[in-house]
């Protein structure tokens, strides 16, 4: 595999092309100057080695930016036989076929609360995510250092292997700790009481019940007309059953909502109690809100000793933490 080839070259101390030419190797780290599986794969499929000139593999997103995007192979410009090849075309074709046969398309991506925020403290790169069964056989997400994955045999970094839930819970607890002076029930209760008062007026509930009852009555009339059309042959049986089922389900949902509203009218909850309940629910979940975390946190770093370091965007919160 490409990874095995890279590991062999690293063990033998073979310099990479960038190292050999003395080029700037970008971000410094324990992996600088090492061969990677990505580099090997790119070289094995680079037509420059069979005498072709390839252009347009990347395109700049803007003349104001240095950032480039990879182009689809169909958009490349390839001019054949521009220089003497290093390997023959047949060997190149066989190698490309072998490389492509080993490629796997990622079938699953994982969404989690700290996506884009979690980094390795030692090498500085984003942590990868693995899905592995736990002792109970349940699928569980784990963080792992990508540098370690790519350069395992060269000890470029360590695993940083830890459950995603463990890190997420620790980060939420830290955010709740530094925000407790700003998020208090006493501060939020007046606004919640005002909102409940505006939203729980009896006339609004009665108006909603009336509107739902009118809509339910209209659906019943519609069903009656459909039944008449079916008897007269204007509406085929198949269409009748399909539309009848849909309208019947919609009417049932309306009736259920009407019952809920009527029950609320019979057993009204005090506005203060409802406001307190809303405030408590907000405090319980506010710090687990993705938008809030991204707004407050610059990055979360995981050390080799599995220490979790939360770096906030604001100095006041950093000092508190």
Mean predicted lDDT score pLDDT of the chain: 77
Q: Is residue 29 included in any domain, yes or no? A: yes
> According to the model, what pLDDT value does residue 279 have?
55
> According to the model, what pLDDT value does residue 5 have?
82
> According to the model, what pLDDT value does residue 282 have?
63
> According to the model, what pLDDT value does residue 104 have?
56
> According to the model, what pLDDT value does residue 321 have?
46
Domains: count for the chain: 1
Q: Is residue 38 included in any domain, yes or no? A: yes
Q: Is residue 311 included in any domain, yes or no? A: no
Q: Is residue 277 included in any domain, yes or no? A: no
Stretches in the chain below the pLDDT threshold 50: 107, 319-321
Residue 270: phi and psi, rounded to 5, are -60, 145
Closest CA relative to residue 93, chosen from 49, 36, 56: 49
Helix (H) or strand (E) holding 141: strand 139-145
Closest CA relative to residue 40, chosen from 86, 8, 13: 8
> According to the model, what pLDDT value does residue 199 have?
59
Q: Is residue 229 included in any domain, yes or no? A: no
Q: Is residue 70 included in any domain, yes or no? A: yes
Q: Which domain holds residue 98?
A: 2-102
Q: Is residue 306 included in any domain, yes or no? A: no
Q: Is residue 12 included in any domain, yes or no? A: yes
> According to the model, what pLDDT value does residue 320 have?
46
d(CA 29, CA 253): 60
């Amino acid at each position: 595999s490409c990874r095995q080839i890279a590991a062999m070259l690293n063990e033998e101390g073979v310099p990479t092309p960038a190292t050999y030419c003395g080029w700037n190797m970008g971000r410094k780290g324990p992996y600088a100057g090492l061969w990677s599986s990505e580099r090997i794969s790119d070289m094995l499929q680079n037509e420059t080695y069979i005498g072709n000139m390839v252009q347009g593999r990347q395109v700049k997103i803007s003349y104001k930016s240095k950032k480039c995007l990879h182009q689809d192979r169909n958009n490349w410009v390839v001019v054949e036989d521009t220089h003497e090849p290093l390997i023959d075309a047949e060997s190149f074709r066989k190698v490309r076929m072998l490389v492509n046969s080993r490629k796997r398309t990622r079938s699953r991506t994982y969404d989690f609360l700290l996506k884009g925020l979690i980094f390795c403290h030692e090498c500085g790169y984003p942590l990868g995510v693995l899905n592995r069964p736990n002792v109970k056989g349940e699928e569980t997400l784990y963080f792992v250092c990508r540098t370690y994955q790519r350069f395992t045999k060269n000890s470029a970094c360590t695993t940083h292997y830890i459950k995603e839930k463990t890190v997420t819970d620790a980060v939420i607890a830290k955010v709740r700790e530094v925000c407790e002076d700003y998020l208090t029930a006493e501060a939020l209760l007046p606004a919640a009481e005002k909102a409940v008062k505006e939203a729980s007026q009896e006339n609004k509930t009665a108006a909603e019940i009336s509107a739902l009852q009118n809509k339910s009555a209209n659906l019943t009339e519609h069903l009656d007309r459909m039944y008449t059309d079916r008897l007269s042959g204007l509406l085929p049986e198949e269409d009748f059953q399909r539309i009848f089922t849909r309208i019947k389900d919609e009417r049932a949902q309306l009736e259920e909502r009407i019952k809920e509203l009527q029950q609320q009218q019979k057993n009204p909850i005090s506005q203060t109690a409802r406001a307190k309940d809303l405030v408590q629910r907000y405090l319980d979940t506010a710090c687990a809100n993705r938008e809030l975390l991204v707004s407050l946190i610059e990055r979360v770093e995981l050390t080799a000793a599995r220490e979790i370091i939360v770096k906030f965007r604001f100095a006041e919160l950093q000092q508190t933490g």
